[in-house]
Amino acid sequence: MKTRKLGNSELEVSALGFGCMGLSFPDAPSKEESIKLIRSAFDLGINFFDTAQRYGDNELLVGEALEPIRDQVKIATKFGFKGGTHQIEVDSSPESIRASAESSLKRLKTDYIDLFYQHRVDPKVPIEDVSGTVKDLIQEGKVKHFGLCEANAETIRRAHAEQTVAALQSEYSMFYREPENEIISTLEELGIGFVPFSPLGKGYLTGTITATTDFDKTDARNIMPRFSKENRELNQPLVDLVVSIAKDKNASPAQIALSWLLVQKPFIVPIPGTSKLHRLKENIGGTKIALTDDELGKINTALKGITITGERYPQQIQAKIGK
């Protein structure tokens, strides 16, 4: 697989990363199967793996899976929630950042973290203090690069002025295009990479979800306004568009969605997650789909005429971690 640099940083990774969070969901495969899947991702060309302290035992899983090939992969993890796991209250105090770093290093079975993201901005802690703390960790060799998640343009600029930001991780896909308003241009100006999570719209852009789909009772999409039955009906034109293009290209809808993201900017590296090997292979196939200028123009023109309805998260969650 081809590689990409995250902005102006020296962090060079596979064009597609692997979001490991879902491997710690209640319906995830067994530990042994998950480790096998992560190693299969590496064998298929992926060397960029994303986890977080807040994802339950995910760091332990990723650490065990990648330990034999640690020197050949890049691991990204995150800090910024009180107590690390199972909490929704943000905490990016210097003490919390350091404690999170030490915990992540142990859980990941490594001496350094390739990319250390602030999981969500903490309004109680100046971003300069956050950047300064991570700068100290970088100087100590415990962290290689600093990243932000879901930060606005002003916060990105302030953080970057104190310590170079290698990458921003935020949601971005055909299903959620808010970063196009200001974020992407800011990242391009500053030389910062962009790592979109949910690049397949939490499964919506695979073409397998319709208004009649019944989610399992443990599925988080049950509480997401965007995935209500009514909103799925209203958002169906987007799915129809992606499915139509996929048929023309002899590809899957997921591959078209990933190809569209990759062609937006050379510093974009999506991190789709999956618990199934055939989906992993399908996603990787998206890096080989080449959209022509005409095809891209057709897609973007159609997207301008499609309004996506429904908020990403319930109000009580948005109030605590931002939109």
Angle, CA 37 vertex, CA 246 and CA 48 arms, to 5°: 75
**What are the φ and ψ backbone dihedral angles of 8, each rounded to 5 degrees?**
-90, 5
* Strand blocks (E) in 22-125: 48-50, 74-79, 113-118
> Given 55, 172, 176, 204, which residue is catalytic?
55
55 catalytic, yes or no? Answer: yes
**What are the φ and ψ backbone dihedral angles of 191, each rounded to 5 degrees?**
75, 45
Q: Nearest-CA neighbor of 143 among 113, 99, 165?
A: 113
Contacts of 322 (CB under 8 A, 6+ apart): 120, 121, 150
Could you give the dihedral angle defined by the CA atoms of residues 48, 53, 54 and 58, in that order, rounded to the nearest 10 degrees? 60
**What are the φ and ψ backbone dihedral angles of 145, each rounded to 5 degrees?**
-140, 150
Catalytic residues: 55
